Structures are given as C-alpha cells and as structure tokens.
Structure 1
Amino acid sequence: MVVQNFTVDLNKPLVFQVGHLGEAYQEWVHQPIVCKEGPRFFASDFWEFLTRTVWWVVPLIWLPVVCWFVAMSVQMGLVIPHVALMMVLGIFIWTLVEYSLHRFLFHINTKTYWGNTGHYLIHGCHHKHPMDGLRLVFPPAATAVLCVPFYYTVKLMSTPTTAPALFGGGLLGYVIYDVTHYFLHHGQPTGEVARFLKRYHLNHHFRIQNRGFGITSTLWDMVFGTLPGYKAAEKSSR
C-alpha cells in the first residue's frame, strides 16, 4: 500500500519505508546523500549484518573458487592456452552481463511498494548513499545463489571440458568488477585509465544517471549508444 505524501525518516530502518513513496520513489532515490556512513536497513541485527560486506571479502572468497574451476578444466585435459582463451572469453562475457544487469535490472523504473523495496535493496540504496563503503560490493551469500543459474547456463553454451574455465573466467570478471567498483568510489587513482573510469562512474551517479552503465569499461555503452554527453562528462571531471 502506498501512503500519499509519505516522507522517509532517515533515522529509522529504510527498507520497509521506501515502498510507501510510490511514484515519488524514483526521484527520491536519485537524489544522493554523500556520507561514508550508510543508513540502517533493518531493525533486525541479523538481517542488517547480511547487508554489509567489506570489499576484500570478494577476492578472498571468490578467487579460490576461480582457481578451483580452472583446475577442473585442466584436470579434464584442457591445454593451458585453451584454458587462458576460455578465461578471457569469460571475462569478456561478464562485461556484457555487468552492463546488462546495471542498465536493465538495476535501473528499472518501479512505483509499487514491493517493486520499490526490491529495487532499493539491489541498487537503489547505492544511488541514494553512493559512498556507503559496506554496501558497494555484492554480499557473498547472494553471489553464491546467483552463481548456480549462471553456471548451468555456461554448461549449456560450452563443452564439459571448457565450461569450468569459461565460468571461472566469468567469475574472475565479476571479482574485477566489484573490486574496481569499490576503488572508483573510495580509491585515489593515479593512472590515466583509472582516473577516467572514476570520473566516468561518478558522472553516472551525480549528473547523468540514465547513461554510463559500464563500470570496468565503456565498451558496451559505446556499442548500445548510452555514452554520456561529452560536455557533461567534462564538467563532472572538474
């Protein structure tokens, strides 16, 4: 049920409030609050704990899994050059998945109570509090659940010997994405490419939120015509 003229109380747990905003949710969630301390999501300490993840947990948990899947392909007789090719292909496929999820799922327009609530949990919270360092990477439990359908999709697309290496490459692409995403918000890049990506991503958050969906590269924004305007990007870098 949507409550007319509802106002979110930032001093109370937010998740079950935002749904009441109805059609006003989209405007509210895209007005960022720049603060390193994120809001409370749930009254329950248990559920609140599950929403918070430090960035280094992602490589700590998933890089050994990447190695395990790659080792599976090697044990089944896949030669090293072919393993490397499958991993590069997996990373490339991940960049398309990254773009597609960000554009078509994370930025879906919602106005119902549960639509707003779900969107806030998966991505809206990041746009409302973009500097919340404990909600920048995906919680491992949620990643594990999503890995299952992705792995079986990869198995349908490839052979038994190449599937583990291909999936391992995709998983490595995800790790690179999540760590890069954290760095773009909280790091101080010195290299030209990293500085460009930081400007590009912060432009998406603070100026043109319906463009610039790539995180690790601008490739698919170029392919699908969602590059932000040149002048806007220049202003955001000043």
Structure 2
Amino acid sequence: MYKRWRTDGRKFDLGRMTMRQLVSAYASHPAVHLYLAGAVVAGLVAAHGAPAGPAAVWTPLRGVVATVLIYPLAWYLIHRFILHSQFLYRSPLTAALWKRIHFDHHQDPYRMDVLFGAPVTTIPTILVITLPLGWLIGPGLSGAAAAAATGLLVTCIYEFCHCIQHLNFKPRSRLLRRMKELHLAHHFHDEDGNYGITSFVVDRLFGTYYGSAKARRRSPHVFNLGYDLQKSRRFPWVARLSGGPPRDRPLRPAERS
C-alpha cells in the first residue's frame, strides 16, 4: 500500500482526482497512519497519566483546548516565517529541506505527494509545540500527552482540508468554498498573505489577509517563492535537486503526466 506513494507519488494529481479518489488516497497515506497511531498512543498515555478525581477529565481537556486554540497561530508562524523564508535555499545544508517542505508544493500545487509534510519534519514540530504547552496548561504528563494527541489529529484535519483546497472540486459548504478561495489566492495570486488553512483570523490580526485578487497586484513570485532564475544561479542547490530552473507558472494539464 505504501509502495505506490514512494514510486508513483506524482500520479496523485488533485487537479484530476474526484472526491472519492481523494478519500481513498488520503486513507492510504503513510503520514496519516503515523499521525493516527501517534494520537492513539498519546491518548492512552494521557488517560493513564491523568490524576485521580475530577482532574482526570480536566487535566487532559485543558491540553486539548490549548492545542486547538494555539494551532492556527503556530501554523501561521511556521508557514510565513519558515516555509516562505528566504534563507533555507541559500545553504546546501538546508536547500533540500526547503525544497521538500514547501517549494515543491508551490511549484506544482496539485501534487498530493508533496502537499503532505514529511513526517520526519512534521512530527517533531508538532511535539515541540504541543508537549510543553500541554505540560504547562494541563499541567503534567497527562496534559502534555493530550495536547500531542490533539496536535496529531488536528494535523490530519488540516491536511485533508488542504487537499480539498487543491482538488478539482467545488465544496457545497459556503465556509469550505471561502477557505478554498482564500488559499488558492495564496497559491495563484499573491503568496505573501492568506497563510491560514482552515482559519484566517491570524492573517487578519497580522495584516496579511486579503479577501480577493482585486485587493492586490499579482505577485511575480507566487510560484517560485522568490527563488527565481537569478537566485537559482547564485544558490543552485534547489535547482539542481529539481532537475531544472524554477518555474514562474503552474504546469499545464498536458505537462502534469
């Protein structure tokens, strides 16, 4: 089941898939299985480590609530200041990391295999955010484990919503349609804004929200994130790994084969 993600990942084209195909592919993705398995383990630790009495409920619950509330802010900060950073491609030590965690996704927004973050980077990030938060808010082991379990489950939700936003599909829900419009503007109009996935409240707070393409001029770097031909000649490592220069437009349907 996992072999096809290693050998045929490029064939998972959200621009051509149906919702049923997306659900099937999502359910088979190894990262989803890792997140769910981790959430189960963390949930068991939270339940086992909870103190006796009323605190048995409130301690892990505080970890859950804190994680749900902090996640939009954490995602915003990571997305804006790390994934869209201009420093990771400048070193051969971090070029491959930046290429994998976000550059490839902007170069081809329909590729499902690069839409998902690599668990080797996402899971440590989730734990670094949630464990201290849950430990302090819980407090203790039960709160930390509950926060970690929540972080892993919320990541599953984020990833599925993210897939829908790139799927050739129009959601019936007005909320989902609006989320999709805002996220696609980030990919196809101006990358310096609308960093949220399921919530754009933090974008509003930090002044990076824009409601339509008419609100801004189109960015020349929306597909290459600023890593243009000039930058690729100066810092060639991402271009070498990509097998060619960065693109300033999305692939045409005939090219996505």
TM-score range, shorter chain: 0.5 to 0.7
TM-score, normalised to structure 2's length? 0.62
CA contact (8 A) 1:62 1:171 kept: yes
Q: Deviations over 1:89-129 (max 9, x none)?
A: 21221211111111100111246353654422221111111
Alignment partner of 1:127 is 2:106: yes
Match of 1:179 in 2: 160
> Residue 143 and residue 81 in structure 1: after superposition, are their counterparts in 2 closer, same or farther (change >3 A)?
same
In structure 2, runs of 5+ residues without a counterpart are: 1-11, 15-24, 219-257
CA RMSD of the aligned region, Å?
3.0
Deviates more, 1:216-225 or 1:72-81: 72-81
Give percent identity, aligned residues only: 24
What code does the residue aligned with 2:33 have? L
What code does the residue aligned with 1:219 have? V
What code does the residue aligned with 1:74 have? A
Match of 2:226 in 1: none
Alignment partner of 1:60 is 2:33: yes
Paired residues in the alignment total 186
> Residue 73 and residue 173 in structure 1: after superposition, are their counterparts in 2 closer, same or farther (change >3 A)?
same
CA distance in 1, matches of 2:58, 2:124: 30
CA distance in 2, matches of 1:191, 1:152: 34
Alignment partner of 1:136 is 2:115: yes
> Residue 196 and residue 179 in structure 1: after superposition, are their counterparts in 2 closer, same or farther (change >3 A)?
same
Alignment partner of 1:223 is 2:205: yes
Match of 2:60, SS state, is: helix
In structure 1, runs of 5+ residues without a counterpart are: 1-34, 38-53
CA contact (8 A) 2:189 2:213 kept: no
CA distance in 2, matches of 1:132, 1:231: 23
> Residue 72 and residue 154 in structure 1: after superposition, are their counterparts in 2 closer, same or farther (change >3 A)?
same
Which of 91, 113, 136 is 2:68 aligned to? Answer: 91
> Residue 140 and residue 187 in structure 1: after superposition, are their counterparts in 2 closer, same or farther (change >3 A)?
farther
What code does the residue aligned with 1:183 have? I
